[in-house]
Amino acid sequence: MAKKKPTYLQTLSKGIQVLEYLVEHNSTTVTSMAKNLSLQKSASYRFLNTFKLHGYVVQDDSNNYILTDRIKKLGSGIIPKIELHNIFVDILNSIALKFHAPADIISNLGVWNGNDITYLAQNNNTTYSQFHEGGHVPAYCSALGKAVFSLMPLPDIEKYMEKTNFEQFTVHTTKKENFLQELELTRARGYSIMNDELCVGLKGVGIPIVIEGQPVQYALSLTRTIYGDAAKFYEDAVPLLQEASEEIMGYLELKLF
């Protein structure tokens, strides 16, 4: 009777070979690794950039991929959440720096916690102490909350509306009777807007972070004090948020945060 061939994932097997090669050589290039492991250059590039995404290698100015100490931490069972937090802050900092007067920008990563939105990470230059990392903000009148709720199932939205007192912080704060309409506009645009709702002059724009197979609970936003028309701010902010969401999504998919 013929023996059954062992069942295995060929891509994972090759990935382990790549990791072992990195441990042995400490640094490599796409071309060098492709040659030594008999890989297509495109496959070598994808493997190395996957390890870069997860923090196992960094890339220097000469396009060398250099092994980090993350593999040692993995072996010790230590991959602290603070590392991910610092990565998120770096991404949020990079968004803010693309604006004139970046100190006026708050870039935020938030999560729906079942009651409201928690700020998980912010850029370092924030000047708004009332909207701080670790703090909370109502979902119905924040860019983060409206972004998350725009992709929630209707029964969940209705349940939230039933239990929530729609406190009016300003004359512009979204009212309960307008909330569903606001979410429809958000879905149609692809991004949410917060216009003087938490305090007069504070504008915000947000997008949901969509992870396949998981309920939407994370969002990114940019806020800024603008007295007047904020259309240019929204126009500039949305592409930056979309780009950052793709990068952050890769980490959130790991369910380490």
Query: pLDDT by residue (tens digit) across 83-110?
Result: 778 889 999 999 988 887 777 889 999 9
User: What pLDDT is recorded for position 257?
Assistant: 54
Exposed, middle or buried by CB within 10 Å (0-12, 13-18, 19+), for 202?
buried
Return mean pLDDT, the chain: 88
Query: pLDDT by residue (tens digit) across 180-196?
Result: 999 999 999 999 999 99
User: What pLDDT is recorded for position 180?
Assistant: 97
Q: What is the CATH number of domain 81-252?
A: 3.30.450.40
User: What pLDDT is recorded for position 214?
Assistant: 87
The answer to whether the CB of 203 falls within 8 A of the CB of 194 is yes
d(CA 125, CA 243): 20
Query: pLDDT by residue (tens digit) across 133-175?
Result: 888 999 999 999 999 999 999 999 999 999 999 999 999 999 9
pLDDT band with cut points at 50, 70 and 90 for residue 56: confident
Instruction: Enumerate residues 6+ apart whose C-beta is below 8 A from 166.
Output: 140, 141, 173, 174, 175, 176, 179
**Six-digit token string for 255:** 């369910």
The answer to whether the CB of 192 falls within 8 A of the CB of 206 is yes
Indicate the length of the chain as a whole number: 257
Query: pLDDT by residue (tens digit) across 108-121?
Result: 999 999 999 999 99
Return the DSSP state at 7. P
d(CA 90, CA 257): 16
pLDDT band with cut points at 50, 70 and 90 for residue 54: confident
Instruction: Enumerate residues 6+ apart whose C-beta is below 8 A from 130.
Output: 199
Averaging pLDDT over each range in 40-54, 57-71, 126-140, 176-190, which range is the top one? 176-190
pTM, to two decimals: 0.69
Find the DSSP H helices in the chain.
Answer: 10-25, 30-36, 41-53, 70-75, 81-96, 143-149, 154-163, 176-189, 231-252
pLDDT at residue 70 greater than cutoff 60? yes
pLDDT band with cut points at 50, 70 and 90 for residue 8: low
Enumerate the CATH 3.30.450.40 domain ranges in the chain, comma separated.
Answer: 81-252
Report the share of the chain in percent with pLDDT over 90. 56
Enumerate the CATH 1.10.10.10 domain ranges in the chain, comma separated.
Answer: 10-75
CATH classification for the domain delimited by 10-75, as one of 3.40.605.10, 1.10.10.10, 1.10.3720.10, 3.40.50.150? 1.10.10.10
Averaging pLDDT over each range in 17-26, 57-66, 145-154, 219-228, which range is the top one? 145-154
